[in-house]
Structure 1
């Protein structure tokens, strides 16, 4: 019973003593029990009469029945899924290339187990401790088919990743890379790689060739005939897109449609951007996907093979019913390009065709070697690095997720930069080395040779009265100390004041209040 003050206030207080007192004072002799029974029978008759009334469902239905409010049809909102649908989506989390790599690594692991143990490994039932013991020996004994050779360090890491993915495919809650149960096997693999470095048996990673400057000039000359040749035009557009968007050839270009680019302009000129996301190696979608940057721009240039103009021409020369950007060309357009209005048919190129584009360009332009599509990506990233762009700016264009993966591309510097580095170190023993080897005295050639400073994002401080050009000239022509020169070359200024003082005919830049 609720004896709170609130309940007492609402309903009053009626104790047991009061109930007993009222019961004792009640006069039972005054009750007419006969009439009471008759009253009860009357009530029963009323109930019987009410039960004889037809039910609501038996009444005639109206011509236009009202629709009940807030009533949803069962099965109209949620789609029913089968076990096959669930398994299909689970398998869709990986690309076909990843699945092939997983099968290769697991097959090698099973082949080793059959040869060394006489039976395959049951990955569905093996315990973590048992699997850890097997991996310790597998990492040490894994060998390619050729006698006397060793697997590259990246291949061994790839094998570990393949086995780990297979365990995930089997829906086992085991991670042989991060779990503590596999600390010893990972330690064995780590020690193996370090021992090979000490012994001199570790092989360096072979990177894709960079396109030489002389070969770039040949490619530029070859593309001058793009407006009169459907084959060269298609190659030219492929090349320009690969360079400006730093793409991966096959998977990127194969997804491009006629409406994949948006033609726009600003105060600096006309340009194109991507109108939708493109699935690539680092952008597969999924829970951990980082949204792809679609604001990368390819600006028009005042050249014969302007990338924007070539893209427009390719679209104009493509059949209206086509959807893909790259299609097969009409045979008549090769012999009679001027009299043929449409050069390209509604016939998309296969994915593997894009792997031969750079090979065909290399042969047709007479290049010094046969380049691949990935050479374009490596060349573009290396060129941005040579021009002095920061890693975050290069990652913006290349869609790398971290600087570690980008570092493998920025593996080289230009010949001028190598010379400046060597001469600077030579000055330790001979301070007059500049005059002996003819090294330019201006520090502005490193790391951005002959490039204005402000074109790469320099913010001219407010209140200095300097234009961008005057600030650039000061940075390029300054003969100040190494410390001040490095400050100008490696800093960007925002919301700060820079004071310039004239001492002994040298411009000295004081340190700003804020530098990034």
Structure 2
């Protein structure tokens, strides 16, 4: 009887060659730098543009191709030189029309020109003198639109004070319901941080925010990271942390934004990967018996993008507002409160005063007051305040006696400085 015995003296190496290599050859040093294919590099380069910018460029090129085909211009897009492209753009700017055969809006013309500029970035059509003729035609087209009264473009309208009050009082944003709670949190975040439209909403997570206390013990919420926005992409920007924004607690307010935020997070799954979640599809009475009100399903970009429009409808507002209206509202409210431009820019993240100006527009109350001033009748057809010149000495001092009784109507002082004392005499 034979008993075969196998001896594996090399163990896990199986043979002498592998054993020798493991003992005496130095293993290859791990690569420090990543290997990338040409396709991967091209994708990284392409990602320098935002998604909306890519879409705008794709739309422009689609319109431009249709224009070339209709005009029987057979030149391929990449075969144009400076002279040929300038000649074609002269005709394009002057004759391009939308799908209904009508002229585009001023904003759409600017978007078309911007898309052409990005596609032909090697030519620099904005400043290259070779494109002077086409640029002159473009300017002439816009001038004609404005002269004919067809420039009806306007910035995102701020929410009126009356509609703001409707939102605050509406049961549609009640923190006692799951749907109302997530709406309230979204509304507070957009308004206090003056966020731009749908920018970054889908990317927010519970970890995107931190709950802190200031030196006086007041609670506030702030972003935990430096968000990349349209205006802030440079990681070396020394002011990035300034633009994170703060949402302070309001003790005594049943809708305190900090307490509302904390309540919302406590009713979300602990492993949620997004900040804004859809409520569990059950009656509120059933949810009230549970510790979790929200599913793990995140709200999508389109759903979040129409959030303010939905709030406008369910709250019965005077008009349909957009998400970006909250950014305009923040600027209006801060400006009306007397904040300086540089302070408002810290909240909104604007980099220059010029871009901030487009967000401010007078309210109907402002326009009414101005109209009364210009009419010379005053808000309630009452005479203006009586100014009594100061006593001798020629100091230029003065005294203003103004009746502030209910029958006298409102009294306004604007763009004035008080040097001295202000005294209120109340007579019952």
TM class, shorter-length: 0.7 to 0.9
> What are the residue-to-residue correspondences of 1:28-177 with 2, within 5 Å?
76-116=31-71, 118-147=72-101, 149-168=102-121, 173-177=122-126
Shift of 1:103: 1.4
Shift of 1:379: 1.9
Q: Which has the higher helix share?
A: 1
Partner residue, 2:176 = 228
Deviation per residue, 1:349-391 (Å, 9 max, x gap): 2121112322332333233333322222222222222333222
> What are the residue-to-residue correspondences of 1:41-440 with 2, within 5 Å?
76-116=31-71, 118-147=72-101, 149-168=102-121, 173-198=122-147, 200-222=148-170, 226-266=174-214, 267=216, 269-284=218-233, 291=240, 293-301=242-250, 302-332=252-282, 334-413=284-363, 415=365, 417-426=366-375, 433-434=377-378, 437-438=381-382
Shift of 1:73: 6.7
Alignment gaps of 5+ in structure 1: 1-60, 428-432, 443-476, 490-499, 507-516
Alpha carbons 1:333, 1:340 under 8 Å: kept: no
Partner residue, 2:406 = none
Choose between structure 1 and 2 for higher RCO, CA contacts under 8 A separated by at least 6 residues: 2
Counterparts of 1:122 and 1:287, CA distance in 2: 41
Pair 485,201 (structure 1): closer, same or farther in 2 beyond 3 Å: closer
Larger-Rg structure: 1
Deviation per residue, 1:132-188 (Å, 9 max, x gap): 1111121111112223x21112211211110111124xxxx2111122221221122
Shift of 1:247: 0.9
Counterparts of 1:214 and 1:485, CA distance in 2: 23
Alpha carbons 2:277, 2:298 under 8 Å: kept: yes
Counterparts of 1:288 and 1:175, CA distance in 2: 27
Deviation per residue, 1:61-96 (Å, 9 max, x gap): 9xx99x9xxxx9777333222211211111111122
- Which TM-score applies when normalising by structure 2? 0.78
Counterparts of 1:90 and 1:230, CA distance in 2: 42
Pair 206,342 (structure 1): closer, same or farther in 2 beyond 3 Å: same
Counterparts of 1:242 and 1:283, CA distance in 2: 17
RMSD of Structure 2 on Structure 1 (CA): 3.5
Counterparts of 1:226 and 1:220, CA distance in 2: 9
Shift of 1:228: 2.0
Determine helix, strand or coil for the equivalent of 1:100. Answer: helix
Pair 132,159 (structure 1): closer, same or farther in 2 beyond 3 Å: same
How many residues align structurally?
378
Counterparts of 1:357 and 1:146, CA distance in 2: 30
Counterparts of 2:89 and 2:172, CA distance in 1: 57
Pair 109,364 (structure 1): closer, same or farther in 2 beyond 3 Å: closer
Alpha carbons 1:93, 1:286 under 8 Å: kept: no
Counterparts of 2:347 and 2:30, CA distance in 1: 46
